[in-house]
């Protein structure tokens, strides 16, 4: 069975410059906040960072105190068994219900038994109901 839940993801934007991620991770680590997921990309001179932590409210405060403007968005976070075809099954289940995946990132250690998937889709709440059925 898939563990899927709705979570708030912190999104921050910053000028794309050397050390942005170092500043973010310093602010979080100094507060004793563990990272669950980080996604960073740059576009048009701007760094965009998506962060999930063990304590989103404290993380939001720490990042604001570090001078970042942040926003939050709902994401679906789930753990999938690390078996061939499991992401396929989950994505096909969503497609059958006409739910479009808008953003997704996955991380699985090579020898790991479980992968962490973070996604947004056209209907996060409905996606969670569907995924919990697997």
pLDDT tens digit sequence for 117-129: 999 999 999 999 9
Beta sheet of 46-53, edge-to-edge order: 35-43, 46-53, 3-15, 69-81, 114-121, 101-107
- For residues 64 and 52, what is the distance between their CA atoms, to the nearest angstrom? 15
Distance CA 127, CA 21 (A): 31
Question: pTM for this structure?
Answer: 0.86
SS3 of residue 5 by DSSP: strand
| Res. 86: pLDDT tops 90 | no
Average pLDDT of 41-64?
94
- The full set of domain ranges for the chain reads 9-73, 75-132
Of residues 122 and 81, more confidently modeled: 122
Quote the strand ranges of the chain, DSSP E: 3-15, 35-43, 46-53, 69-81, 101-107, 114-121
- pLDDT (0 to 100) of residue 112: 81
Query: How far from 102 is each of 87, 98, 99, 124, CA to CA, in Å?
Result: 15, 12, 9, 10
Classify 75-132 by CATH class.
alpha beta
pLDDT at 1: 66
Query: Token digits for 46?
Result: 């701007």
* CATH code of domain 9-73: 3.30.70.260
Cα–Cα distance between 70 and 91 in angstroms, integer? 29
Cα distance between residue 62 and residue 127, in whole Å: 31
Same topology between domain 9-73 and domain 75-132: yes
């Amino acid at each position: 069975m898939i563990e899927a839940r709705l979570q708030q993801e912190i999104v921050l934007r910053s000028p794309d410059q050397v050390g942005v991620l170092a500043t973010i991770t310093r602010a979080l680590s100094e507060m004793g906040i563990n990272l669950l997921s980080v996604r960073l990309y740059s576009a048009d001179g701007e760094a965009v960072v998506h962060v999930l932590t063990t304590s989103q409210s404290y993380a939001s405060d720490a990042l604001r105190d570090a001078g970042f403007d942040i926003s939050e968005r709902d994401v679906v976070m789930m753990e999938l068994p690390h078996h061939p075809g499991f992401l396929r099954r989950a994505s096909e289940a969503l497609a059958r219900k006409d739910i479009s995946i808008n953003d997704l990132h996955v991380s699985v250690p090579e020898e790991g038994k479980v992968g962490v998937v973070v996604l947004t889709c056209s209907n996060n709440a409905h996606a969670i109901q569907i995924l919990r059925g697997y």
